[in-house]
Amino acid sequence: MGFGGTSFRTAIIAIPLAALVLLAPAAQVQGRAEPAQALPTDGTQAATTGTAGIDQLQQKSLAGKAIEKVKEVAKSAGDILSRVPCRSPKGDGKSMGSLPHVAAKLVAGKPVLIVAFGSSSTQGFGSTSPEFTYPNRLAAQLRRQYPGVDITVVNRGKGGEDAPEMMKRLQTEVIDVKPDMVIWQVGTNAVLRNLDPAETAKLVEEGVASIQAAGADLVLVDPQYSPAVNAKGENASRMVQLLGKVAELRHAGFFPRFEVMRDWHEKQSIPFDSFVVADGLHMNDWGYACFAQLLGDDIIKSVGQIKLGVAVPPNVQAYRPM
One domain for residues 216 and 303: yes
Q: Which of 186, 249, 251, 245 is nearest to 221 (CA)?
A: 186
In a domain, 155, yes or no: yes
pLDDT at residue 28 in the model: 36
321 within some domain:
no
Residues 6+ apart with CB under 8 A from 185: 116, 117, 118, 119, 121, 122, 157, 221, 257
Tally of CB atoms within 10 A around 316: 14
Range of the domain at 104: 89-316
CA distance 87 to 110: 31
The lowest-confidence range among 94-108, 217-231, 302-316 is 302-316
pTM tops 0.75, yes or no: no
215 lies in the same domain as 132 = yes
Q: Which of 118-122, 244-248, 281-285, 308-312 has the lowest mean pLDDT?
A: 308-312
My answer on whether 265 and 183 are in the same domain is yes
Output 311 or 152, whichever has higher pLDDT. Answer: 152
State the total domains in the chain.
Answer: 2
pLDDT band at 128 (very low <50, low <70, confident <90, very high): very high
Q: Are both 182 and 152 inside the same structural domain?
A: yes
Residues 190 and 99 occupy one common structural domain: yes
Query: What pLDDT shows up at residue 68?
Result: 61
**pLDDT number for residue 89:** 87
Higher pLDDT, 182 or 301: 182
